[in-house]
Amino acid sequence: MSALAFGFVGATVLTIAVNGLTHFRAAVSSAEVLFSLRMSMLTSTVSTAVCLLLALPTAHVLTRMRIPGRRAVEVLMELTLSLPYVVLGFALLIMFSSPAGRALRDAGLAVVFRPSGIVLAQLIVNIPFSLRMVRTAFAEVDPRMEFVAKTLGASSWATFATVTLPACRNQVVSALVLTWARGMGEFGATLMLVGVTRMRTETLPGSIYLSISTGNTDTAMATAMVMLLVSAATLVVTGVLNGTSATRTGRGGR
């Protein structure tokens, strides 16, 4: 059974690698593929930064404070995490096509069929994910260290910045890297809210979609190879960070 699972996943990755490498050079020199790569990197970077800014304080509140309705918030986040991304994107489309959404558009916040909508689609997909990972990281920090810092006169902010965050720094960075990678690969919510327009709202997954739609499977596989390399780099970075955290924990235990 293990060999079957490994063979199935391995065959899929090998298919991308073998077929993608053949036309990889032509793809990475294509203006359209380069545009989609820049669009994916830009939107993923912006959405990841916003996710982190939102996830850090929210995770701290959910793991360190007793607030009314905390369980309801947790269930809400878990619910959106398990929903299909197409459904989330469709909900955003309905929201921003409503009178309130049109008022926001008139005020200058236009997202439907706009590149800014890509960031919004990535946010709705990744905020629950990044929040869950940061919550897990905070939950592993010994509360006694925070208690000692506060008894020595440290404020709540100083305790968070000098004790809590450094203690789980690698896990938080891993969450950031994985959130960025998920943003690079997000497609369902983006397709519903923004659509795929060549050289305008075209991300890497969108480029693959357009290439397949026009029968250009060679370019599609080469673009998929680019995403495979991004995924591999993400795996290496998170592996190094997790290994460093495990080593530090082991030394602390001894």
pLDDT at 254: 47
pLDDT in tens, 186-223: 999 999 999 888 889 999 999 999 999 988 888 899 89
The domain made up of 2-253 is a member of CATH 1.10.3720.10 = yes
pLDDT at 72: 87
CA distance 130 to 55: 6
List helix spans (H) across 83-214.
Answer: 85-97, 99-106, 115-139, 143-151, 156-159, 165-167, 169-185, 188-193, 204-213
pLDDT at 112: 86
38: nearest Cα among 201, 219, 210: 201
46: nearest Cα among 126, 108, 105, 104: 126
249: nearest Cα among 133, 81, 137: 137
CA distance 229 to 92: 31
| pLDDT, one tens digit for every residue, the chain (254 residues) | 999 999 999 999 999 888 888 888 877 888 888 999 999 999 999 999 999 999 999 998 888 888 888 888 888 888 888 889 999 999 999 998 888 888 888 888 888 888 899 999 999 999 999 999 999 999 888 888 988 888 888 888 888 888 999 988 888 999 999 999 999 999 999 999 998 888 899 999 999 999 999 888 888 998 999 899 888 888 888 888 777 655 555 555 44
User: Which residue ranges make up each domain of the chain?
Assistant: 2-253
pLDDT at 152: 87
210: nearest Cα among 197, 221, 222, 194: 197
pTM of the model: 0.86
Whether the Cβ atoms of residue 36 and residue 204 lie closer than 8 Å to each other: yes
pLDDT at 244: 61
pLDDT at 24: 85
